Structure 1
Amino acid sequence: MTVHVIGAGIAGLAAALALVRAGQRVALHEAAPVAGGRARALPDGTDNGTHALLGANRAALRFLAQIGAQEGWVEPEPAGLPVLDLETGSARRVSLSPLGWADAARRPEGMTLGALFALLRLALPGADRSVAAAFAGHPRLLRALVEPLTVAALNTPVQEASARLLGAVLRRLGGRGAARLLVARQGLGPDLVAPALATLACHGANLRTGSRLREVVQAGGRVAALEFAGTSLPVGPADGVVLALPPWEAARLLPGLSVPQRHAPILNLHFSRPDSGAVGDHPVRFLGLLGGLSQWVLVRPGGISVTVSAADGSIGLTDAEAAARIWPEVRQAGLRFGLPGEWPAAPPPARAVRERRATPRHGLNPPALPPRRPLANLALAGDWTVAELPATIEAAVRSGEAAAAAILYALARRQAVPA
């Protein structure tokens, strides 16, 4: 009795962990040479971008606890997020939590009483509209807070992003500790993927890398076999399958499946900087930028990572072009906030990671998602399968756990049916 998990990204890892913790035998298949999916896009296994979690991401934080990885995650800016406005030169610390806005010094610019009511209205039911339309009367708050949060969480420009979905994100930030920003001290590879694989190995899960699924063979509304290059794996009556793949791969394997068709890109740029140094007990820093190409800057000893979300206009830049435009912005932020190390005028060596289909475009009237279990013994996982959340690490973990629960339910029902 085996459950085959296809795809060892975060959703697949979360599904596999839930299954082995329930006593199931798990075989994990990954097409790439290494596990991690979008979390490990670079050849050396390091992060593709500036990934972060919030205290509100309870499923993701629970997953970290289950794999013993909490110590690898730190809060780089406990006093508030340092934000530099590149157009005005204004530098301040902004609280991500509404509870911190009582302090005027940590309140986002443009946070008037009317703007606060506009934020609160996102939680109310009603017809959906774009984020830009919802905050048309509050342009300062839109620029200073709402737009950066929208492109970070939804990876969609505010002119088309769903205000309803953004409201679902903001509702989770109201509780105490919910807006704490956490980043992996070394990166998602060593601080999430590696401990997850180690935990799965301790439970006896088997990982095959370089194993791309060619075909899902169906018979009678069930998966009968999994066809890999040179290998055919029969799927017996007591076996199950979790398909934890991007939407286009799921649609390739299950023709006719309803999946998102429109996607938004992300541009990530990584600067080498071995002299970036450390600050106290927290060598990691996380900065926000307004009014430039850069949006989020993650500084670790040895390197600086910059993310440009909703990158329709910049995804085509060459590495040299991206570095020439982004480094002056990063340098200005580093000098303004007093980060240690040298900040030369010339860009240090850099490499770009371009995710042209990073996430679905989270706009109005999204297409209907497929059922969690489109076949009797197959469940879908992936950040794109969770309708109530944007495609994030939190959604990936939740989807993996939901897929595992669906397969466990199906297997239990199968066993309960008399032979």
Structure 2
Amino acid sequence: MTDPGMVHVVGAGVSGLAAALALVREGRRVTLHEGAPVAGGRARALPDGTDNGTHALLGANRAALRFLERIGAREGWVEPEPAGLPVLDLESHVARRVALSPLGWGDARKRPEGVTLGSLLALLRLALPGADRSVAQAFAAHPVLLRALVEPLTVAALNTPVQEASARLLGAVLRRLGGRGAARLLVARNGLGPDLVAPALATLACHGAWLRCGERLRGLVQGGGRVQALEFAEMTLPIGPADAVVLALPPWEVARLLPGIPVPRRHAPILNVHFTRVAEGPIRFIGLLGGLAQWVLVRPDGISVTVSAADAEVALTDAEAAARIWPEVREAALRFGLPGDWPVTPPPARAVRERRATPRHGLNPPAAPPRQPLPNLALAGDWTLASLPATLEAAVRSGEAAAAALARAPRQPVAA
């Protein structure tokens, strides 16, 4: 008979959770190992339940949405702005709604500024093969559309300034937004903790998966071209002939454990500022141009603001960040008629700094790592996909790809 063995998924972020779910659905036994006190990785909620950042999905993120369906969490994700994304230009003080999909630009009221025949052709050229260049170079002749639409999308999706961001990779993102419903913006009603991580863990537990938290993987013991054991602080865990390993870890951890594997060496930070504000009202999502804040997520229990590609901004203190961002949030709230009081004085705030939030998605990225560097070991993580930026979608796809790689690997027969 063939022993299905145990698959040890190291890293319980979104990619690890996706890999574990795919594996248990194939009948494999799974143990999740997480070095942090709780699961979730960069998507996990903070100790008080607040998300570490402002996370959103688009209708084009089919793998992530399929994952939510499989864990019974899809209903927890809502569309806060079905009529188009509210956008406030903090320099001109013009407030309008913008359709994210070109299919909605037939309505001039929802068309981004700078849409001309020439700028549309520039967008279409992103889909064509050819030498890569920066986004800023690709739209140098169309500065209005660059500022109004292309730069915000680049910074949100690639977390890289347009002066260095890859136009080719942005093209891969934009191509996915062309279909009907692909540009629908979705956010977690209560946050990623309750609306993604918790239901994923509950589903895995129903399939018999185990979760071990608070113990970082120290090293891999290799022999005979395979992983023989996992070294943790308190124990060395043997990997049997039928067992396998998924490393769903950040690139610097994989580089430590598997020297020689190509990984991104340059990363970009994200600054998130969370304001304490309890007020009744619907969930709202607003984009800002020309200021420090870029995206504002308003929930009844608080306000979260994201600053991506925040190379300089991560140095701001909590008080400095709140003092600069709150007037921008307040103006947006008043212009779009959000209910409740919006005082001049900022409410209590806390900044969360992700200094290595994603790889820098510039030109000439490092080669993607092999999905299966050893017969019984596969890699997962948003950074392992060369075709997509490091997002929730890429994390889910990479986890499923790691599970599929192990499913294709021949299993060693074990005597009954």
TM-score, normalization by structure 1: 0.97
How far off is 1:271 after superposition? 0.1
- Give me the CA root mean square deviation: 1.2
- Counterpart of 1:206 (choices 206, 210, 213) is 210
After superposition, residues 336-347 of structure 1 pair within 5 angstroms as 336-347=335-346
Amino acid at match of 1:301: P
1:263 match = 267
CA shift at 1:40, angstroms? Answer: 1.4
User: How big is each residue's C-alpha offset from its partner over 1:249-279, in whole Å with a ceiling of 9 and x where there is no partner?
Assistant: 111111121100000000000000012x21x
CA deviation profile, 1:121-161 (whole Å, cap 9, x unmatched): 10001100000000000000000000000000000000000
- Unaligned 5+ segments in structure 1 are none
User: Which of these residues, 121, 141, 145, is aligned with residue 145 of structure 2?
Assistant: 141
Deviation, structure 1 residue 43? 2.4
The answer on 1:44 being equivalent to 2:48 is yes
- After superposition, the C-alpha distances for 1:153-210 in whole angstroms (9 at most, x for unaligned) are 0000000000000000000000000000000000000000000000000000000010
The alignment partner of 1:342 has SS state of coil
Stretches of 4+ moved more than 3 A in 1? 415-419
SS in 1 for 2:105: helix
Residues 323-374 of structure 1: per-residue CA shift (max 9 Å, x gap): 0000000000001000011100011000010000000000000011210001
Aligned to 2:288: 289
How do residues 18-417 of structure 1 correspond to structure 2 at under 5 angstroms?
18-40=22-44, 42-275=46-279, 277-278=280-281, 283-410=282-409, 413-415=410-412
Provide the rounded CA distance (Å) in 1 between the counterparts of 2:71 and 2:291.
38
Ranges in structure 2 where 5+ consecutive residues have no aligned partner:
none
Deviations 1:33-81 (A, max 9, x none): 1100001152224311110000000000000000010110000000000
Query: Matched residue of 2:129: which SS?
Result: coil
Match of 1:8 among 12, 25, 42: 12
Cα–Cα, structure 1 residues 21 and 164, in superposed 2: closer, same or farther, change >3 Å?
same
Same amino acid, percent of matched pairs:
82
Q: Distance in 1 between matches of 2:305 and 2:53?
A: 7
Q: Are the counterparts in 2 of residues 42 and 353 from structure 1 also a CA contact under 8 Å?
A: no
Per the normalisation by structure 2, the TM-score is 0.98
Please tell me whether the aligned partners of residues 45 and 192 of structure 2 are also in contact (alpha carbons under 8 angstroms): no
Shift of 1:418: 11
Contact 1:27 1:207 in 2 (8 A): yes
Instruction: Give the distance between the partners of 2:401 and 2:36, measured in 1 at CA.
Output: 24
Equivalent pairs, count:
412
Kept after mapping to 2: 8 A contact 1:34/1:45: no
